[in-house]
Amino acid sequence: MSERLALYKGKSKTVYDIGKPSELLVEFRNDATGGNGAKHAVLEEKGRVNCAFDAFIMAMLAENGIKTHWLKKVSDTEIVVRRLDMLPIECIVRNRAAGGICKRLGIERGRVFAPPIFEFFLKDDSLGDPIITEDHIFMMQLASKENLASMKVLTHRVNNILKPFFAKAGFDLVDFKLEFGYYQGELLLGDEFTLDGCRLWDIQSGEIYDKDRFRLDLGDVIQFYKKASTRLGIL
C-alpha cells in the first residue's frame, strides 16, 4: 500500500485514507477493550484472526445477497472497504438471552427467543451506547423510517444466514451486533463481523468462544477465537 493517512482510530481497528474517494483501508489491531474502554489488553494474533474471520463472513454474506462494504483482504490484518457514511446506530439480534438483556430485564441467561429479539442502540461512548427506540431515532433525525426498516430486515436476514452456518459447526449464535452506512445513497452493511461483536457458545458444552472470554476474564481468548475459526473452516 502506498501513502496512507489514519482517519480514525477505534478501539480495535484503524481506518486509513488510501487516496481513493470511494475506498478505505481498515486495519484490525491486537487491541481488546471491554466495559466501554475501561478494560484494555493487547492480545497477540487478535488482528490476524479477526481479519480472517471478518473476511470469511463478509464474503459469505455477499454470496447470500447481503450488500456489504467489504471489497478485499490485502494483508493478514488489513482489508479494503467501500467508504460508507456510517449511521451511529447498532443493530442487535438476540437468539438467546445473555449480557445486556439479562442485566436490563432480569431475564435468565440462556433463555431462547423464538422469534429472535431485535434492538437498536445509539453508538455513543460518552453515553455508554444506550438502547433506543425507533421514535428516539426519528426525533434525533438519525435515519428515515424506510432505512430503519431496512436495517431491521437486513439484520434478521444476516441472522437467518449465519445461525445455521454456525450450527453446522456445533455453535449456537446467541446474539450479534451490526452497523450500517450509506454508499451512494444505498444502505450497506459496514463495520465488522468477528467474535468481538457476537456471542458464540458450543451447542453441547455451552463453552464460550467469543469476546465474553475477555470481558468475563475467562482466559485463553485468542486460543478460543482460533479454535472457533478452525472448526468453521476459516483458519
Candidate segments 22-30, 92-100, 150-158, 179-187, binder of ligand 5GP by CB under 6 A: 92-100
Q: Does 191 bind ligand 5GP (CB under 6 A)?
A: no
Candidate segments 42-50, 80-88, 197-205, 225-233, binder of ligand 5GP by CB under 6 A: 197-205
By CB under 6 A, the count of residues binding ligand 5GP is 14
6 C-beta neighbours (distance < 10 Å), count: 11
Grouping H, G, I as helix, E, B as strand and the rest as coil, residue 124 is coil
Find the shortest distance in angstroms from Cβ 109 to ligand 5GP: 10
Q: Does 190 bind ligand 5GP (CB under 6 A)?
A: no
Rg (CA), the chain: 17
Which residue has 427467543 as its cell numbers? 113
- Which of residues 83 and 199 has its CB atom nearest to ligand 5GP in the complex? 199
Give the span between the Cα atoms of 155 and 176, in whole angstroms.
9
Find the shortest distance in angstroms from Cβ 119 to ligand 5GP: 7
Q: What is the DSSP string of 162-196?
A: HHHHHHHTTEEEEEEEE-EEEETTEEEE-S--STT
Give the span between the Cα atoms of 234 and 175, in whole angstroms.
20
Q: Does 201 bind ligand 5GP (CB under 6 A)?
A: no
Q: Are 40 and 32 in contact (CB under 8 A)?
A: yes
- Which of residues 56 and 193 has its CB atom nearest to ligand 5GP in the complex? 193
Q: For residue 101, which phi and psi values (nearest 5 degrees)?
A: -70, -30
- Which of residues 91 and 188 has its CB atom nearest to ligand 5GP in the complex? 91
- Which of residues 69 and 211 has its CB atom nearest to ligand 5GP in the complex? 211
Give the span between the Cα atoms of 115 and 199, in whole angstroms.
17
One of 92, 154, 189, 234 touching ligand 5GP (CB under 6 A): 92
Q: Residue 40 forms beta bridges with which residues?
A: 33
Reduced DSSP (H G I as helix, E B as strand, rest coil) percent helix, strand, coil of the chain, to 5: 30, 35, 35
Give the span between the Cα atoms of 192 and 77, in whole angstroms.
13
State which of positions 93-152 bind ligand 5GP (CB under 6 A). Answer: 98-100, 129
Candidate segments 19-27, 57-65, 195-203, 218-226, binder of ligand 5GP by CB under 6 A: 195-203
Q: Does 27 bind ligand 5GP (CB under 6 A)?
A: no
Q: Does 31 bind ligand 5GP (CB under 6 A)?
A: no
Q: Does 189 bind ligand 5GP (CB under 6 A)?
A: no
Which residues would be at the binding site for ligand 5GP (CB under 6 A)? 90, 92, 98-100, 129, 175-177, 196-199, 211
